[in-house]
Amino acid sequence: MTPTLLELEDELTRLTLAPELGASIVNWTVRSTGQPLLRHSDQHALNTGLPGKLACYPLAPWSNRIAEGGFDCPGGWLALTPNSLTDPLPIHGSAWQQPWQIVSHTCDEIVLQLDSTTPFAYRARQRFHLSEGKLSIGLQVTHLAEHAAWHGLGLHPYFPRTAGTRLQAQARQVWLCDSAKLPTQLTSIPKDWDFSQPRALPETLVDNGFCAWDGHCLIQQPKLGYELECQATGSDYYLLSCPEGLEFFCIEPVSHPVNAHHLPGRPGLRLLEQGQSAELGFSLRYRYANS
Average pLDDT, the chain: 97
What is the model's pLDDT at position 274?
A: 98
pLDDT at residue 291 greater than cutoff 60:
no
Count of C-beta atoms within a 10 Å radius of residue 217: 21
Count of C-beta atoms within a 10 Å radius of residue 101: 12
What is the model's pLDDT at position 42?
A: 96
| DSSP conformation letters of 114-168 | EEE-SSS-EEEEEEEEEETTEEEEEEEEEE-SSS-EEE--EEEE-EE--TT-EEE
Of 66, 56, 65, the C-alpha closest to 22 is: 56
Respond yes or no on whether the N-terminal peptide bond of residue 99 is cis (omega within 30° of 0): no
What is the model's pLDDT at position 59?
A: 98
Per-residue pLDDT band at 2 (split at 50, 70, 90): confident
pLDDT per position as a tens digit, 99-121:
999 999 999 999 999 999 999 99
What is the model's pLDDT at position 289?
A: 87
Respond yes or no on whether the N-terminal peptide bond of residue 119 is cis (omega within 30° of 0): yes
Task: Tell me how far apart the alpha carbons of residues 100 and 129 are, in angstroms, rounded to a whole number.
Answer: 17
What residues contact 187, with CB distance under 8 A and at least 6 apart?
A: 173, 174, 175, 176
What is the model's pLDDT at position 83?
A: 96
